[in-house]
């Protein structure tokens, strides 16, 4: 009888994180699911355990805080996992000139610091065992500055480059690290950030389950960066290779959001 595999998934109660939890449970992984809301975690874990007959442990933690990150780091160091999915992330529906240091630091804490800290907690054990994988959920937005005034793409650019670089360093030890870079996905993400997506065409939206399936297929293929669907592969290519001046000209004008009396940069 084969030994069971374990995956730890952050932001596992909604959106891409919930889709990862279902996909992995269906594949027979025991789960450790992480989010802030204990009640919602327990409800999610109960449902997964009953439906797929797998272990589903909950680990409440606010990854924007040092204590929350330390809780998950300790779990990863003390009890090895076969797969870590760093999915938890956030955006700010605020142009940089109207933002606050506190808000920007929370974004960096979740999108950058948590990804770095949890990956570093998991990788040494994986390298020692010569097996394991980390998937860091990034975004196609990280390939270019197409959202003037938003620091979200910058944080995701870090996630993608970090994942590729670390992935190259651990590949000789049989360990994989991959950045998953979807486009618009139908989740709670935009609603939580207060972002109005009513003008986004239907054809641009992706299904979370399909994103996860494509990402896991790319992980098995050994890719360092996964961009689901041909339309976002084209978008990623354009953001990386079209001259910056063209991208800047077609980027949205955000002066109305910043305000007439704010400094122009």
DSSP state of 172: G
Q: Which two three-digit tokens encode residue 170?
A: 């651990």
DSSP letter for each residue of 72-130: HHHHHHHS--SEEEE------SS-GGG--HHHHHHHHIIIIIHHHHHHHHHHHHHHHHT
Q: Dump pLDDT digits (tens) for 34-89.
A: 999 999 999 999 999 999 999 999 999 999 999 999 999 999 999 999 999 999 99
**Is residue 264 one of the residues assigned to a domain?**
no
Residue 1 located in a structural domain? no
Q: What is the helix, strand, coil percentage profile of the chain, to 5?
A: 55, 15, 30
Of 29, 152, 224, 232, the active-site residue reads 152
Place of tokens 């449902």: 47
Among 177, 84, 171, residue whose Cα is nearest residue 130: 171
Is residue 263 a part of any domain in this protein?
no
265 within a domain of the structure (yes/no)? no
Angle at 133 between CA 131 and CA 137, to 5 degrees: 175
In a domain, 68, yes or no: yes
Domain count, the chain: 1
In the residue annotation, 29 being an active-site residue is answered as no
Residues 6+ apart with CB under 8 A from 164: 177, 179, 224, 225
Residue 94 lies in a domain: yes
Range of the domain at 197: 6-256
Q: Provide the CATH number for the domain around residue 141.
A: 3.40.50.720
Q: How confident is the model over 148-162, as pLDDT tens digits?
A: 778 999 999 999 999
In a domain, 86, yes or no: yes
Q: Write out the H or E segment, with its range, that includes residue 45.
A: helix 38-52
- Is position 159 within any domain? yes
pTM of the model: 0.85
């Amino acid at each position: 009888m084969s030994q069971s595999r374990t995956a730890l998934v952050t932001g596992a109660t909604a959106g891409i994180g919930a889709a990862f939890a279902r996909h992995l449970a269906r594949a027979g992984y025991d789960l450790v699911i992480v989010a802030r809301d204990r009640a919602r975690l327990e409800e999610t874990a109960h449902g997964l355990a009953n439906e797929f007959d797998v272990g589903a442990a909950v680990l409440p933690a606010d990854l924007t805080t040092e204590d929350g990150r330390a809780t998950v780091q300790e779990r990863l160091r003390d009890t090895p996992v076969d797969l870590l999915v760093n999915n938890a992330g956030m955006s700010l529906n605020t142009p940089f000139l109207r933002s606050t240091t506190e808000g920007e630091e929370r974004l960096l804490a979740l999108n950058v610091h948590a990804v770095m800290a949890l990956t570093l907690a998991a990788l040494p054990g994986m390298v020692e065992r010569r097996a394991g994988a980390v998937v860091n959920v990034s975004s196609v937005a990280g390939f270019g500055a197409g959202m003037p005034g938003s620091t979200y793409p910058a944080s995701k650019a870090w996630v993608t480059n970090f994942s590729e670089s670390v992935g190259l360093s651990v590949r000789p030890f049989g360990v994989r690290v991959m950045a998953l870079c979807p486009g618009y996905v139908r989740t709670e993400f935009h609603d939580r950030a207060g972002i109005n997506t009513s003008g986004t065409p239907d054809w641009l939206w992706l299904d979370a389950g399909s994103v996860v399936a494509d990402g896991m297929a790319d992980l098995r293929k050994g890719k360092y960066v996964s961009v689901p669907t041909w339309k976002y592969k084209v978008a990623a290519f354009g953001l990386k290779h079209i001259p910056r001046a063209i991208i800047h000209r077609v980027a949205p004008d955000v002066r109305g959001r910043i305000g007439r009396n704010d400094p122009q940069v």
